[in-house]
Amino acid sequence: MTPPVLVYDGDCGVCTKLARFVTTTVRPAPESFSVSAYQDLDLDALGLTPEQCDEALQWVARGGRVSSAQDAVARVLLAGRLPFRPLGAVILVPGVNALAGLVYRWVALNRHRLPGGTPACSLPAAQRPS
């Protein structure tokens, strides 16, 4: 059984910086889960589409179950080092999860304005220069 994988948008500067943070700070060990840009993966094998990956962060668990957006963030934190795990559990609490979803969507819509964001972050994948 393959380890879980966190799938992010490799064309987005903000997403790439956050993926690097997950890799260096959140993830307890390289074998715990992989962190990969969707542009570098066989999405069919993971049960994902480019549109899903362009729209939100994706977490594919060992059994193939997919979590997206704030749920993917929660799953990553739950699989992370101890200081991050309680935050992941809190994000999954129903009322908190709805609020986290609003925050996630706001960040996703404004990622080109955030530190590390680029103009390409605001474009749909089909219109990006890469």
Q: Is the pLDDT of residue 1 over 80?
A: no
How confident is residue 53, by pLDDT bands cut at 50, 70 and 90? very high
Under the banding of pLDDT at 50, 70 and 90, the label for residue 111 is confident
- The DSSP code for 127 is G
Residue-range domain boundaries for the chain: 5-124
What is the rounded distance in angstroms from the CA atom of residue 49 to the CA atom of residue 44?
7
Q: What is the pLDDT of residues 91-102, one digit of tens each?
A: 999 999 999 999
| β 34-37/5-8 pair status | parallel
Burial of 30 (0-12, 13-18, 19+ CB in 10 A): exposed
Average pLDDT over residues 8-34: 95
Segment 52-60 mean pLDDT: 96
Closest CA to 103 of 56, 37, 65: 56
**3-state SS class at 12:** coil
Residue 74's CB: how many other CB atoms inside 10 A? 22
Q: In the prediction, which pLDDT does 126 show? A: 59
Identify the pLDDT of residue 24.
97
Work out the number of other CB atoms within 10 angstroms of the CB of residue 12.
26
**Percentage with pLDDT > 70 across the chain:** 88
Report which listed range, 14-18, 95-99, 121-125, is most confident. 95-99
Q: Check residues 2 and 22 and name the one with the higher pLDDT.
A: 22
Mean pLDDT for the stretch of residues 75-100: 98
Q: How many CA atoms lie within 13 A of 77 on its CB side?
A: 17
The pLDDT confidence band at residue 112, using thresholds 50, 70 and 90, is confident
